[in-house]
């Protein structure tokens, strides 16, 4: 491990040409820059390299190699496991790299690796265009896309990674590569689901689609006493959704801070408003909701709709798994477990995957989970450090109680940092060996390992 003095000396040498900021622990701004979205993560890098250009990223990689330091890569900083930061290594921070360029004629967008979905949506919606992004607008585009990319448009247009045209990547040996279907096609296959294992994505290029600016969407909130009927209705409704129509279900707490437990259906429809109105009518006619906020909504607002539920700095601990089916037993177990939730910010989310996202062969991209079905997410979130133990225990206990209902697959973007067994192999399933071979080609020393790590095949 390099000493503090050698890090400072090397940073001083690099500082003459480095276009961004090099922050050491004693520097002003370091404490703010080291924070990530999850307040449970409290790490202290030896150096934070806040990059403004691809050349800065190349220099930061070279510096880490020279000093023998581990590297973490930060885009949006949303990864729940805190893999965007590191103790004692170098955080290569892309958050200043926010350039976004839209080609409205060719219907494409190019964006740098530090951009968030809110920033990309703001630019593309000027032209009535969009690509599948996250359901929280403060999420970084790179991390979400490279691990999968569930979002409001995935039924019609596939996952975020299904819309990738190209990725500019800085590799462990400092090369700058462009990966696309024509250039480095094996690498491009691996990047579509393989996360940050192969290099640092300094920019990404996507296909765009005609979407908005006004869509239909919003939440419908029911009393918790109706949660069984809500989840059963959700199960029935998701069996026949149009591609344009998305529907998620949640057991959560009222956003007014009262701690009131509720059952929620959250929906969106990206088709014509008349079609959308017909599609959401059964949802609006079901039961007697406490609140029905489904209606016309700008696409940018739809993507910001849930932001307030995930404040920066809150403590987060997540567990998730795909479900074999949303059975009566699974529903009953969810309701029993949610009744013991120790935090008014805790929730269960059931994400339904269908349509275009499920019409891709498992081997066409590194992301293998292409069957129609449900992803179940236990989201423990709290504000006081004193609540950490019981909130984490509740999430773990719920996960164990739900285990009989799980399918074999995991969504790599939701993996936490204390998983047992080999969750990454489970996340990639039949594609894992091919990913290991590609990792061995582009990162044989596993330089990029602060991630949902794919070990290079020896």
State the Cα–Cα distance between residues 274 and 153, nearest whole angstrom. Answer: 18
Q: Are 148 and 193 in contact (CB under 8 A)?
A: yes
Q: What is the dihedral of CA 176, 178, 179, 182, to 10 degrees?
A: -140
Token reading at 362:
């498992």
Residues 6+ positions from 54 with CB-CB distance below 8 Å: 168, 170, 176, 202, 203
Q: Are 304 and 122 in contact (CB under 8 A)?
A: no
Give the domain ranges of the chain. Answer: 4-93, 100-211+433-442, 214-414
pTM of the model: 0.93
pLDDT of the chain along its 458 residues, tens only? 456 777 777 777 776 788 999 999 999 999 999 999 888 889 999 999 999 999 999 999 999 999 999 999 999 877 877 788 999 999 999 999 999 999 999 999 999 999 999 999 999 999 999 999 988 888 999 999 999 999 999 999 999 999 999 999 999 999 999 999 999 999 999 999 999 999 999 999 999 999 989 999 999 999 999 999 999 999 999 999 999 999 999 999 987 778 899 999 999 999 999 999 999 999 999 999 999 999 999 999 999 988 878 888 899 999 999 998 999 999 999 999 999 999 999 999 999 999 999 999 999 999 998 999 999 999 999 999 999 999 999 999 999 999 999 988 777 777 766 666 678 888 898 999 999 999 999 999 999 999 888 899 87
How buried is residue 52: exposed, middle or buried, by Cβ count under 10 Å (0-12/13-18/19+)?
middle
pLDDT of residue 353: 95
| CATH class of this structure's domain 214-414 | alpha beta
What architecture (CATH level 2) is domain 100-211+433-442? 2-Layer Sandwich (3.30)
State the Cα–Cα distance between residues 214 and 270, nearest whole angstrom. Answer: 9
Q: Counting every residue, how long is the chain?
A: 458
What is the biggest distance separating any 2 CA atoms in the chain, rounded to whole angstroms? 67
State the Cα–Cα distance between residues 455 and 198, nearest whole angstrom. Answer: 11
Strand partners, 109: 102, 206
Backbone angles phi, psi at 318, to 5 degrees: -120, 150
Which one, of 94, 98, 92, lies nearest residue 119 by Cα? 98
Angle subtended at Cα 77 by Cα 173 and Cα 48, rounded to the nearest 5 degrees: 55
Which one, of 20, 171, 49, 200, lies nearest residue 112 by Cα? 200
Q: Are 378 and 334 in contact (CB under 8 A)?
A: no
Token reading at 5:
């003095």
Helix (H) or strand (E) holding 397: helix 388-402
Looking at the chain, the number of H-run helices and the number of E-run strands are 14, 19
β pairing state of 90-93 and 47-50: parallel
pLDDT of residue 291: 93
* CATH topology (fold) of 4-93: 3.30.43
pLDDT of residue 1: 46
pLDDT of residue 3: 64
């Amino acid at each position: 491990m390099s000493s503090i003095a050698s890090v400072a000396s090397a940073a001083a040498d690099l500082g003459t040409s480095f276009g961004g900021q090099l922050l050491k622990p004693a520097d002003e701004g370091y404490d703010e820059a080291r924070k990530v979205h999850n307040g449970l993560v409290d790490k202290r890098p030896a150096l934070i390299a806040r990059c403004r250009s691809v050349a800065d990223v190349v220099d930061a990689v070279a510096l880490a190699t020279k000093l023998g330091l581990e590297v973490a890569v930060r885009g949006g900083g949303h990864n729940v496991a805190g893999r965007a930061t590191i103790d004692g290594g170098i955080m290569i921070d892309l958050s200043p790299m926010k350039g976004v360029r839209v080609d409205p004629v060719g219907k494409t967008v190019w964006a740098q690796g530090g951009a968030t979905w809110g920033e990309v949506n703001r630019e593309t919606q000027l032209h009535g265009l969009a690509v599948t992004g996250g359901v929280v607008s403060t999420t970084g585009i790179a991390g979400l896309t490279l691990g999968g990319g569930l979002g409001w448009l995935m039924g019609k247009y596939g996952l975020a990674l299904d819309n990738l045209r190209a990725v500019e990547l800085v590799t462990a040996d400092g090369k700058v590569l462009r990966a696309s279907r024509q250039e480095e096609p094996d690498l491009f296959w691996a990047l579509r689901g393989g996360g940050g294992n192969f290099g640092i994505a300094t920019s990404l290029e996507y296909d765009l689609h005609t979407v908005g600016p006004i869509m239909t969407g919003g939440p419908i909130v029911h009393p918790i006493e109706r949660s069984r009927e809500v989840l059963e209705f959700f199960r029935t409704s998701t069996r026949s959704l149009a591609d344009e129509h998305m529907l998620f279900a949640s057991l959560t707490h009222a956003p007014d801070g009262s701690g009131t437990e509720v059952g929620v259906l959250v929906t969106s429809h990206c088709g014509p408003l008349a079609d959308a109105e017909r599609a959401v009518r059964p949802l609006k006619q079901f039961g007697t909701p406490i609140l029905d906020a489904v209606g016309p909504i700008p696409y940018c607002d739809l993507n910001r709709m849930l932001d307030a539920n995930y404040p920066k700095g809150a403590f987060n601990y997540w567990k998730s798994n795909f479900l074999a089916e949303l059975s009566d037993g699974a529903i009953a177990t969810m309701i029993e477990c949610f009744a013991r939730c120790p935090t008014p910010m805790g929730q269960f989310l059931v994400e339904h995957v269908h349509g275009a996202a499920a019409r891709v062969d498992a081997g066409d991209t590194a992301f293998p989970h292409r069957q129609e079905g449900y992803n179940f997410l236990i989201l423990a979130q709290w504000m006081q450090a004193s609540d950490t133990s019981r909130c984490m225990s509740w999430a773990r206990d719920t996960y164990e109680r739900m285990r009989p209902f799980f399918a074999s697959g995991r969504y790599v973007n939701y993996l936490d940092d204390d998983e047992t067994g080999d969750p990454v192999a489970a996340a990639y399933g039949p594609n894992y060996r091919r990913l290991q071979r590609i990792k061995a080609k582009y990162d044989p020393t596993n330089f990029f390992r602060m991630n949902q790590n794919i070990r290079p095949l020896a």
